[in-house]
């Protein structure tokens, strides 16, 4: 998809969809800035990307920290001289209803899933403009449809979708495209980190066979393939799209 020597920033790059996207860009010989707060996992992901044919540098930072956008952009500029693609893949999930969602949970969901991508887009915008680049945000089917019990997560992803549309409108005259992917349940560590133990997670995946019309959860590599397409020139006339890649989950009513 012509990413040879292109400079790609991927947040959440040490696991899940972010790592799968980074490895896919590496196979296309991109030059990558991998962002994660987990230094050990980041080092391992950086080695994996290098083994896959890409050139990668790690940026170990909490994306919600005040200096994160500047540090990430500076890493790209000092390491590779510019930015062609930004992939906002870092994300967190937590359970909670109107009555049980605490201020701290709400703020955490908004901070990681919405505020941090906005701030990084803002910081990267001049450099993406210089290269007529592209942004791909990793949202969720929860941004397109409401689901009980994950209130703050749903709202944060709906915000991500509208951020995608608004940014696409503003950045189109600059030659920068902005799109989002909206995965259904995908086999990553996301839900485990929300507090599910292995028994609960296995039951959750089994239930996903019923809630997704195609009868299974997704794989990170499947999401990564769409991310690469949206970042490539093959999608040169696409911007502001929020695209379900969810086994048909967004087509269903409450089940």
Residue 253 has pLDDT above 90, yes or no: no
Please report the pLDDT score of residue 198 as a whole number: 87
**What pLDDT score was predicted for residue 50?**
86
Cα separation, 145 vs 180, in Å, equals 15
* % of the chain surpassing 90 pLDDT: 88
**95 band by pLDDT with thresholds 50, 70 and 90:** very high
Helix, strand, or coil (residue 93): coil
Kindly give, in sequence order, each residue whose CB lies less than 8 Å from that of residue 182, ignoring residues fewer than 6 positions away: 139, 140, 141, 143, 144, 157, 161, 242, 243, 244, 245, 246, 250
Q: What is the pLDDT of residue 54?
A: 82
| pLDDT exceeds 90 at position 255 | no
Full-model pTM: 0.95
> Hey, which residues does 244 pair with through a beta bridge?
182
* 210 vs 203: CA distance, rounded Å: 11
Return the pLDDT at 246: 96
Check 36, 125, 153, 224 and give the catalytic one: 153
Domains annotated on the chain, with CATH = 7-190+220-245 (3.40.50.720)
| pLDDT at 38 exceeding the cut of 70 | yes
Does 202 have pLDDT greater than 80?
Answer: yes
- Please spell the DSSP secondary structure of 205-230, one letter per residue: HHHHHHHSTTSS-B-HHHHHHHHHHH
User: What average pLDDT does the segment 194-198 reach?
Assistant: 78
**Statement: residue 53 has pLDDT above 90:** no
- Of the two residues 116 and 52, the one the predictor is more confident about is 116
pLDDT attached to residue 196: 79
Contact 20, 221 (CB under 8 A): yes
pLDDT in tens, 144-174: 999 999 999 999 999 999 999 999 999 999 9
> Does the structure show a pLDDT above 70 at 97?
yes
> Over the chain, what is the mean pLDDT?
95
Q: What does the pLDDT look like over 80-92, one tens digit per residue? A: 999 999 999 999 9
- 201 catalytic per annotation: no
Question: What string of DSSP letters covers 31-89?
Answer: EEEEEES-HHHHHHHHHHHHHTT-EEEEEE--TTSTTHHHHHHHHHHHHHSS-SEEEE-
DSSP string, 180-193: EEEE-SBSSSHHHH
């Amino acid at each position: 998809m012509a990413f040879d020597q292109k400079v790609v920033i991927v947040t959440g790059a040490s696991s899940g969809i972010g790592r799968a996207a980074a490895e896919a860009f590496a196979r296309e010989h991109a030059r990558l800035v991998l962002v994660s707060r987990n230094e050990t996992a980041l080092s391992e992901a950086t080695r994996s990307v290098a083994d896959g044919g890409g050139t990668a540098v790690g940026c170990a930072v909490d994306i919600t920290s005040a200096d994160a956008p500047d540090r990430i952009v500076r890493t790209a500029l000092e390491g590779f001289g510019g930015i062609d693609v930004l992939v906002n893949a870092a994300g967190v999930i937590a359970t909670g209803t109107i009555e049980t969602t605490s201020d701290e949970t709400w703020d955490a969901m908004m901070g990681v899933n919405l505020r941090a991508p906005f701030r990084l887009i803002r910081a990267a915008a001049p450099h993406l403009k210089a290269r007529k680049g592209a942004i791909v945000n990793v949202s969720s089917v929860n941004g397109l449809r409401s689901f009980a019990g994950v209130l703050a997560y749903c709202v944060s992803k709906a915000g991500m979708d509208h951020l995608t549309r608004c940014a696409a409108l503003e950045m189109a005259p600059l030659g920068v495209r902005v799109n989002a992917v909206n995965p259904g349940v995908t086999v990553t560590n996301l839900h485990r980190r929300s507090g599910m133990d292995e028994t609960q997670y296995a039951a959750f995946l089994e239930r996903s066979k019923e809630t997704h019309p195609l009868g299974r959860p997704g794989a990170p590599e499947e999401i990564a393939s769409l991310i690469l397409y949206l970042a490539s020139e093959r999608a040169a006339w696409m911007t502001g799209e929020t695209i379900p890649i969810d086994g048909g989950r967004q087509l269903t009513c409450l089940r």
